[in-house]
């Protein structure tokens, strides 16, 4: 993509909400608190509400390639070992195994309940109250989401399964007259509700970093599922994601033996600009499902189609379908901005060819498609593409009929619009070949 095009796309504002005065204060308190905790690297970073991305971090000085972006002492990271200092550890009996994500989520709920009595309240107060993952759509909205989004929302089951285990444990505690908060005597059952658990679960999902399991002190009193490698990282979790950023994370030890989690950037940033890190090579769908946002013009986006989509447009003779399936060509067939991906080209070639079967392998694995082959493939692709596009347009019409919708649902609408743009670009690329 050219620079002008990238800039045009980056300027698009995607349902970003305003930052409140309270939020602004909580972020400044968080920074001041960290400065008292030997985190001098946050000095030149300041939280800011950006037009295109919402809350993020702005640098107050020029940052050069290889500079340290942030360096947090290990004691500031919240890992499962924190539970040994928390009353809520009583919930995690040795009988069950819990995921690190579940343990951290429960910790956040409990510390949030403690309010200013929590040692972590500056961090807890900095966490966003509203999240935009599709799981936060209302049921009415979820019913309108296309299958390709619903099918990937597997986190919802984990939230429910975790909560079932927690309820079991809280009920057991109640039966034994245990599980009251030492701070206010409220029972944990009243503190850890499903709604709060879901929020906290996604807080961990969208903000935790991965660290080496060997760096986490094991807690003998609870069983944690493998891998136990998550950590919440105050302030560091204010960095937004860019696909154009590259970072390097490491654990460094100073001459006094103190450990730090450090991120170096392989990009440069001008003073007063937003600093980004990279959450990984995620396409828009994955970003939306796991992080509640996406970035337009993501080069990793592909619009998948499958055999049933082809069957709507064409008959597939059995001997051709058998060949396609036995070579796994039907998997992940997709439209991309430049036309079709490899598996889609091969499948449509097989569908279209008049050649005898013993010539097929050399054609698809020998990279020897003729112009005539390509014209046949692209003409078929255009029909399937129009079918996929109409499906998306119908979803859009239904989704846009909702008068009032949540921010998470608006993002789903934006995502489908982005998919339609990709299909249009793909169509234009297919048409360029005569
Ligand atoms: C680790 S947090 C980053 C800080 C976050 N923006 C905040 O306000 O606390 C990750 C979340 O930030 C948002 N985010 C990250 N990168 C973004 C981007 N490039 N554009 C829009 N939102 C982004 C998403 O909501 C994501 O779940």
Looking at the fold, whether 155 and 188 belong to one and the same domain comes out as yes
Looking at the fold, whether 40 and 172 belong to one and the same domain comes out as no
Mutate to test the pocket of ligand 1, among 240, 279, 418 (most ligand atoms within 8 A of CB): 240
Would the ipTM clear 0.90, i.e. be above it?
yes
Domain assignment present for residue 297? The answer is: no
Give the number of domains in the chain.
Answer: 3
Domain assignment present for residue 375? The answer is: yes
Question: Whose alpha carbon is nearest atom 6 of ligand 1?
Answer: 55
Mutate to test the pocket of ligand 1, among 241, 245, 274 (most ligand atoms within 8 A of CB): 241
Domain assignment present for residue 404? The answer is: yes
Looking at the fold, whether 181 and 269 belong to one and the same domain comes out as no
Nearest-atom index, ligand 1, CA of 133: 27
Distance 353 CA to ligand 1 centre (A): 47
Looking at the fold, whether 102 and 67 belong to one and the same domain comes out as no
Q: How far apart are CA 434 and CA 428, in angstroms?
A: 12
Nearest-atom index, ligand 1, CA of 126: 9
Label each residue of 320-368 as H, E or C. Answer: HHHHHHHCCCCCCEEEECCEECHHHHHHHHHHHCCCCHHHHHHHHHCCC
CA-based R_g, the chain, Å: 25
Write down the pLDDT at residue 358.
Answer: 87
Looking at the fold, whether 248 and 132 belong to one and the same domain comes out as no
Write down the pLDDT at residue 17.
Answer: 63
Looking at the fold, whether 146 and 247 belong to one and the same domain comes out as no
Domain assignment present for residue 359? The answer is: yes
Distance 293 CA to ligand 1 centre (A): 7
Cβ(155)–Cβ(290) under 8 Å? yes
- What CATH number is given to the structural domain containing 257? 2.170.270.10
Looking at the fold, whether 69 and 94 belong to one and the same domain comes out as no
Looking at the fold, whether 111 and 153 belong to one and the same domain comes out as yes
**What is the torsional sign of CA 86, 88, 92, 93?**
positive
Domain assignment present for residue 320? The answer is: yes
Q: How far apart are CA 365 and CA 369, in angstroms?
A: 10
Contact 53 CB / ligand 1 (< 6 Å): yes
Domain assignment present for residue 296? The answer is: no
174-233 pLDDT, tens digit per residue, is 999 999 999 999 999 999 999 999 999 999 999 999 998 888 888 777 889 999 999 999
Mutate to test the pocket of ligand 1, among 45, 201, 206 (most ligand atoms within 8 A of CB): 206
Of the candidates 240, 244, 206, the one whose C-alpha atom is nearest the C-alpha of residue 55 is: 240
Q: How far apart are CA 269 and CA 58, in angstroms?
A: 9
Residue numbers of the domain that contains 390? 303-431
Looking at the fold, whether 94 and 207 belong to one and the same domain comes out as yes
* 58, β-bridge pairs: 46, 274
Contact 142 CB / ligand 1 (< 6 Å): no
Looking at the fold, whether 309 and 426 belong to one and the same domain comes out as yes
Structure-token pair, residue 208: 């935790």
Contact 295 CB / ligand 1 (< 6 Å): yes
Cβ(376)–Cβ(350) under 8 Å? no
Distance 132 CA to ligand 1 centre (A): 10
Write down the pLDDT at residue 15.
Answer: 54
Contact 146 CB / ligand 1 (< 6 Å): no
Contact 282 CB / ligand 1 (< 6 Å): no
Mutate to test the pocket of ligand 1, among 51, 291, 411 (most ligand atoms within 8 A of CB): 291
Of the three residues 213, 231, 249, the one that is the final residue of a domain is 231
Of the three residues 231, 246, 277, the one that is the final residue of a domain is 231
Write down the pLDDT at residue 14.
Answer: 52
Of the candidates 352, 428, 408, 421, the one whose C-alpha atom is nearest the C-alpha of residue 134 is: 408
Looking at the fold, whether 86 and 225 belong to one and the same domain comes out as yes
pLDDT by residue, tens only, the chain of 434 residues: 344 444 444 445 455 566 777 888 999 999 999 999 989 999 999 999 999 999 999 999 999 999 999 999 999 999 999 888 888 999 997 788 999 999 999 999 999 999 999 999 999 999 999 999 999 999 999 999 999 999 988 888 899 999 999 999 999 999 999 999 999 999 999 999 999 999 999 999 999 999 988 888 887 778 899 999 999 999 999 999 999 999 999 999 999 999 999 999 999 999 999 999 999 999 999 999 999 999 999 999 999 999 999 999 999 999 999 999 999 999 999 999 999 999 999 999 999 999 998 889 888 888 789 999 999 999 999 999 999 999 999 999 999 999 899 999 999 999 999 999 999 999 999 998 76
Nearest-atom index, ligand 1, CA of 128: 9
Looking at the fold, whether 89 and 227 belong to one and the same domain comes out as yes
Distance 310 CA to ligand 1 centre (A): 37
Of the three residues 231, 246, 270, the one that is the final residue of a domain is 231
Domain assignment present for residue 153? The answer is: yes
Domain assignment present for residue 381? The answer is: yes
């Amino acid at each position: 993509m050219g620079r002008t095009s990238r800039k045009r796309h980056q300027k698009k504002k995607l349902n970003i909400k305003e930052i409140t005065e309270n939020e602004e204060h909580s972020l400044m308190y968080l920074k001041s608190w960290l400065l008292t905790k030997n985190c001098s690297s946050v000095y030149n970073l300041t939280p800011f509400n950006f037009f295109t991305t919402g809350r993020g971090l702005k640098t107050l000085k020029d940052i050069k390639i290889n500079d340290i972006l942030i360096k947090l002492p290990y004691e500031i990271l919240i890992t499962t070992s924190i539970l040994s200092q928390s009353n809520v550890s009583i919930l995690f009996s040795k009988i069950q195994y819990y995921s690190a994500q579940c343990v951290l989520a429960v910790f956040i709920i409990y510390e949030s309940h403690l309010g200013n009595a929590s040692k972590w309240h500056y961090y807890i107060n900095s966490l966003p109250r509203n999240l935009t993952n599709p799981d936060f759509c209302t049921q009415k909205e979820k019913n309108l989401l296309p299958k390709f989004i619903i099918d990937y929302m597997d986190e919802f089951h984990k939230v429910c399964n975790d909560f079932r285990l927690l309820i079991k444990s809280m009920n057991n505690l109640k039966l034994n007259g245990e599980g009251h908060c030492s701070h206010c005597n409220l029972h944990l059952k009243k503190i850890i509700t499903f709604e709060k658990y879901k929020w906290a679960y996604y807080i961990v999902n969208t903000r935790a970093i991965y660290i080496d399991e060997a760096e986490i002190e094991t807690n003998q009193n609870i069983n944690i599922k493998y891998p136990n490698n998550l950590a919440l990282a105050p302030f560091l979790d204010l960095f937004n994601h860019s696909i154009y950023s590259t970072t390097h994370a490491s654990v460094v030890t100073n001459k006094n033996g103190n450990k730090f989690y450090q991120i170096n950037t392989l990009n440069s940033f001008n003073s007063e600009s937003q600093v980004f890190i990279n959450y990984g090579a995620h396409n828009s769908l994955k970003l939306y499902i796991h992080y509640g946002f996406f970035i337009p013009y993501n080069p990793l986006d592909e619009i998948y189609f499958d055999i049933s989509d082809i069957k709507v447009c064409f008959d597939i003779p059995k001997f051709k379908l058998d060949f396609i399936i036995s070579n796994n060509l039907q998997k992940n067939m997709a439209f991309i901005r430049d036309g079709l991906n490899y598996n889609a080209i091969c499948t449509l070639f097989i569908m279209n060819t008049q050649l005898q079967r013993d010539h097929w392998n050399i054609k698809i694995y020998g990279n020897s498609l003729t112009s005539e082959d390509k014209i046949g493939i692209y003409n078929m692709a255009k029909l399937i593409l129009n079918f996929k596009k109409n499906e998306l347009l119908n979803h859009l019409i239904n989704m846009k009929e909702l008068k009032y919708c949540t921010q998470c649902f608006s993002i789903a609408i934006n995502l489908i619009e982005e998919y339609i743009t990709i299909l249009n670009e793909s169509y234009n690329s297919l048409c360029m070949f005569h």
